[in-house]
Structure 1
Amino acid sequence: MKLMDGDRLLPIRCRRRKILLGAGFFTGLAVISQWRPVLAQPRFSSYPFSLGVASGDPLPNSVVLWTRLAIDPLNGGGMPPENIIVRWSVAVDKNMTKIVRSGQTLATPELAHSVHVDVRGLEPERWYWYQFRVGKEVSPIGRTRTAPARNSSIPQLNFAFASCQDWQNGYYTAYKHMAEEELDLVVHLGDYIYEYEAQPDKLRQHIGSEIFTLEDYRNRHAQYKTDPNLQAVHGKFPWIITWDDHEVENNYAGLIPEENQSQEEFVNRRAYAYQAYYEHMPLRRFSLPKGPDMQLYRRFTFGDLAEFNVLDTRQYRTDQPCDDGLKPRCSQALAEEATMTGQKQEQWLLKGLDKSSARWNVIAQQTMFAEYDFDPRPETGLFNVDQWDGYVAARNRILNFLAQRQPSNPVVITGDIHSSWVNDLKVDFQNPDSATVGTEFVGTSISSDFPTEFIAPVKAALSDNPHTKFFDGAYRGYVRCNLTRDRWQSDYRVVSTITDENASISTLASFVVENGQPGAQKI
């Protein structure tokens, strides 16, 4: 069979050869897609790279490159039901004239025509530029950076972490400013999308109703990805990502939904959500979901300066105790078997911390780790049991490990709560004289609201929670971190408003942790 002149349809034998040459193609999907024809020179009615480009999971010799072909991104993508050849190239200059790696892969309908190219053979601690091509169309040029060689000595690391970007609440002006920062990477701690239905009173609206199906989740991810400020940050820095609850459903726990759904309905919903999440993120092959299960916790090392332990505290957790919410702690919140991470992930975390030779050991996770009693009267107490305050025994195992094994400079970075906090991590939060074994920096949201009526009660309780060094609920933004061998500095970068696309940026507060001295100091 000859190549057709119209849409350049490849014959099956030639197509199979192209599969074997595809650097980013998954062998499991080869079985699914093996009888589909392949378009080598497709023609599009509109620009296919409407969702931009991204990179992530940086290692010393490799990085994942991502894009998704979508000519009608808010309506399923609008792509033909064929496999499409996507060519990619990596250069050491921003004009893409000095190509050092190139290849091709397949964008398949089974993965919404997304591609994940794991580029190998790169040099450590180096900036690269990359681009995709399909037919006569070319993508924007993205920039990425590899991690330093393992155990190499590096003087500093600059990164920002962010979370909670409810599309409906406001503009992503914080990302506009983040794109102008001098960073080595971005860490996203969850709530990349929100599952809620369109709300007419909001600044900008979700498309459609609450999402449940695979197409729903794909369209919601695509809507978020159309934001130019979000695309700009994806295109400028590599990302390390993990999820929280809203990527599936608010406050879900394991296979337990918040809403009144049957077990079968929620298992299917989680599987659809996980697949769409993978399709829209720069993740490696091992994270390809298997039904409702997906490997997301993983570890990244940046020379001998920093090691990131990226947690998944949704997929494996037991149900929230005390019927969830903000309330006095019940006995189930103290149960030994209650878990945020599952036993396997908990042991993975502790073993990794024990073996680490990094100066700074980062635990990147979702909900606030430190205790906070919102109503510290002795006879009551009021805790958010969706946070680690509902999983006290699991938290104590980690804190006691930090006290006994003393990994170097443990720092927890956290999202979820739409507000800014700085916490000393204590072996016993009830005893101010208890040993401080680590530090927690909690970042505010990109756009999601913190209820105004909660700000005053939280501030009123600060004096009874002396391990909390800082709280702000009024501003949105991100946290910029500079790590050297001697200290860690976190700058709380906030926008003046989320209702103005031209809002200004400022530093609300800065804190440092000195090497070998757990606990943060304001500067």
Structure 2
Amino acid sequence: MDKEQLFNDLEQRFREGKMDRRGFLQATGKVALASLGLTIAASLKGGPVDAAPKFTAYPFTLGVASGDPWPDSVVLWTRLAPDPMNGGGMSGSDVPVKWEVATDEKFHKIVRQGVGYARAQLGHSVHVEVDGLKANQVYYYRFQTGKEMSPTGRTKTLPAVGSKVSKMTFAFASCQHYEQGYYSAYRHMAEEELDLVFHLGDYIYEGGATTGKPRLHNSPEIMTLTDYRNRYAQYKSDGDLQAAHAKFPWVVTPDDHEVENNYAGLIPEANQPVEPFLARRAAAYQAYYEHMPLRSSSLPNGFTIQLYRHFNYGDLANINVLDTRQFRDDQASGDGSKPPTPESTSVDRSIMGEEQEQWLLSGLNQSQAQWNIIAQQVFFCKRDSRIGEGEQYSMDAWDGYSANRDRILNFAKQKGLSNLVVLTGDVHANWASDIKADFNNPDSETLGAEFVGTSIATTGDGVDITDVQKAIITENPHIKFYNGQRGYVRCTATHDSMQADYRVVPYVTRPGAPITTRASFLMEKGKPGLQKIYDGAVTV
């Protein structure tokens, strides 16, 4: 039976009620993977090489980046794109690219060098996994092709696993809708003293150009691989974003807008045929890999990509990076904001898939670090948005998969883990919350804290806090803070405490905004619960 007949047979069984929607989508997904996945994987092999390339313009228009640091290794990234928003402007050949790593910015002390390839089938992106580096060491790197030299980047390896580390400082960010504001926050981030940066999703937005915005998207809604490449090129052409990438190693994970708003696993947002969506998802994942400093272990296979992964920062932090989008069940109750239902509370539902859940619990079980950090995409703590009687929760967040959250919290309580730190993006606002063993019992044990970071630009300038948000905090006693401005969160961990500083800018609808710390929270070892140690609220 050929592919078309298989799809027709599955659709007939679905229409006759012999298969539910989830089973139908899973089955059709497997059929599509058998054909589409093999085609995509085969296309990523090396091709003919142009050893003496000639460029129509400067090829390093998208800057440089590093990421996924290990104690002895780091990924270096760039992409050759002399005409970045029109497909890149390169020929169909692979291009050799020389790379150098040094301990000084002037490259007097080069410690590693070699030649990588800008692969045509990967959009002429370059991913170099540099090995043989020293732990906890700052390095500088650059690329060269032909007579053209890239900007210089700075990166840093992680401390050796289990080694004594006194401090770690990092920032996390998310949600950078290009049309809705400028990336001034990234310029300030680049001036910080950080060990690494986490990006927690919505690196791009897939929608078409709109009107009346500070900046405009460069196309209608994106669907194809070329569309996604051009959109990434537009975002990565921003100088402030390039500055932050060039200064620190990044650890990245996507949310939904890198593909399509609120998609869930194999299920698109709208009721549309599954095969076109899976082709779109495959294109989106490939473009994501092409533009991020990811290791070859994350190279997409069809419409799947390996994104959940683990990092150790000496003896100080056990870091687990999640993927809460690719393997989740469909949102309960038709998505949106709803009261809890038997579907949303079902023990059979997962936001991360069984395999990833077991991987996370195994990592937490083996951890001997002071802090157990979970870097992920959507609101983790319970957040009841209905004031007064009744309850209302986001079906797209962990509240829509509450049994999955309960399994993690029950495990943490059984293992005596009272040092959980969840880092979150998605909601375009700053929040700080105590993680309770039982959110229905305010007196239950506090297991850690969730720090939710606002957007870099999405939804525009924003405001500090409204009466509605004040009421939501009252409704949810474990939530300690809200702020609706743009920016990022800077965190400092020691063996005694974890501090989160909410860094905000007053506007993004024009460039050049200054930055301030809106609030700082502290979680001390042996003292469960967040303490506000600084409040920069403007009083009138």
Q: Which TM-score applies when normalising by structure 2?
A: 0.89
The aligned residue for residue 25 of structure 1 is none
| 1:170 corresponds to 2:175 | no
Decide whether the 8 Å contact of 2:417 with 2:447 is kept in 1: no
1:517 CA drift (Å): 2.5
The aligned residue for residue 69 of structure 1 is 80
2:235 partner letter: Y
The aligned residue for residue 365 of structure 1 is 376
| 1:390 corresponds to 2:400 | yes
Partner Cα distance (2:245, 2:46) in 1: 34
1:220 partner letter: R
Decide whether the 8 Å contact of 2:465 with 2:483 is kept in 1: no
Decide whether the 8 Å contact of 2:63 with 2:246 is kept in 1: yes
| 1:253 corresponds to 2:264 | yes
The aligned residue for residue 238 of structure 2 is 227
Q: 1:484 to 1:137 in 2, by over 3 A?
A: same
Corresponding residue to 2:66 among 55, 66, 73: 55
Partner Cα distance (1:126, 1:459) in 2: 44
Decide whether the 8 Å contact of 2:312 with 2:319 is kept in 1: yes
| Number of aligned positions between the proteins | 494
The aligned residue for residue 424 of structure 2 is 414
Corresponding residue to 1:215 among 206, 211, 226: 226
The aligned residue for residue 328 of structure 1 is 339
What secondary structure is seen at the aligned counterpart in 2 of 1:396? helix
1:67 partner letter: T
1:35 CA drift (Å): 8.0
Partner Cα distance (2:44, 2:68) in 1: 26
CA distances 1:86-138 after superposition (whole Å, capped 9, x unpaired): 11010010011211000001111100000100000000000000010000101
Structure 1, unmatched stretches of 5+, are 1-27
| 1:104 corresponds to 2:115 | yes
Q: 1:49 to 1:335 in 2, by over 3 A?
A: same
Q: 1:143 to 1:452 in 2, by over 3 A?
A: closer
Partner Cα distance (2:334, 2:387) in 1: 20
| 1:486 corresponds to 2:496 | yes
Alignment of 1:128-277 (within 5 A): 128-277=139-288
Decide whether the 8 Å contact of 2:168 with 2:493 is kept in 1: yes
Partner Cα distance (1:486, 1:266) in 2: 48
| 1:402 corresponds to 2:418 | no
The aligned residue for residue 447 of structure 1 is 457
Q: 1:298 to 1:36 in 2, by over 3 A?
A: closer
Identity across the alignment (%) = 57
Q: 1:216 to 1:455 in 2, by over 3 A?
A: farther
Structure 2, unmatched stretches of 5+, are 1-38, 534-540
Q: 1:324 to 1:30 in 2, by over 3 A?
A: closer
Decide whether the 8 Å contact of 1:356 with 1:407 is kept in 2: no
1:270 CA drift (Å): 0.4
1:430 CA drift (Å): 1.8
The aligned residue for residue 19 of structure 1 is none
1:454 CA drift (Å): 9.3
What secondary structure is seen at the aligned counterpart in 2 of 1:158? strand
The aligned residue for residue 342 of structure 1 is 353
Partner Cα distance (2:526, 2:277) in 1: 45
Partner Cα distance (2:465, 2:529) in 1: 26
The aligned residue for residue 500 of structure 1 is 510
What secondary structure is seen at the aligned counterpart in 2 of 1:223? helix
What secondary structure is seen at the aligned counterpart in 2 of 1:350? helix
The aligned residue for residue 113 of structure 1 is 124
1:501 CA drift (Å): 1.3
Partner Cα distance (1:276, 1:516) in 2: 44
What secondary structure is seen at the aligned counterpart in 2 of 1:490? strand
Partner Cα distance (1:499, 1:361) in 2: 37
What secondary structure is seen at the aligned counterpart in 2 of 1:315? coil
The aligned residue for residue 299 of structure 2 is 288
What secondary structure is seen at the aligned counterpart in 1 of 2:355? helix
What secondary structure is seen at the aligned counterpart in 1 of 2:343? helix
Q: 1:40 to 1:408 in 2, by over 3 A?
A: farther
Decide whether the 8 Å contact of 1:52 with 1:139 is kept in 2: yes
Decide whether the 8 Å contact of 1:41 with 1:136 is kept in 2: no
Q: 1:246 to 1:358 in 2, by over 3 A?
A: same
The aligned residue for residue 363 of structure 2 is 352
Partner Cα distance (2:372, 2:41) in 1: 39
What secondary structure is seen at the aligned counterpart in 1 of 2:70? coil
| 1:44 corresponds to 2:71 | no
Decide whether the 8 Å contact of 1:374 with 1:457 is kept in 2: no
Partner Cα distance (1:517, 1:285) in 2: 41
The aligned residue for residue 436 of structure 2 is 426
Q: 1:34 to 1:347 in 2, by over 3 A?
A: closer
1:149 partner letter: A
Partner Cα distance (2:356, 2:500) in 1: 27
Partner Cα distance (2:527, 2:326) in 1: 33
Partner Cα distance (2:345, 2:178) in 1: 36
How large is the RMSD of aligned CA atoms in angstroms? 1.7
Corresponding residue to 1:435 among 433, 439, 445: 445
Alignment of 1:296-311 (within 5 A): 296-311=307-322
| 1:513 corresponds to 2:530 | no
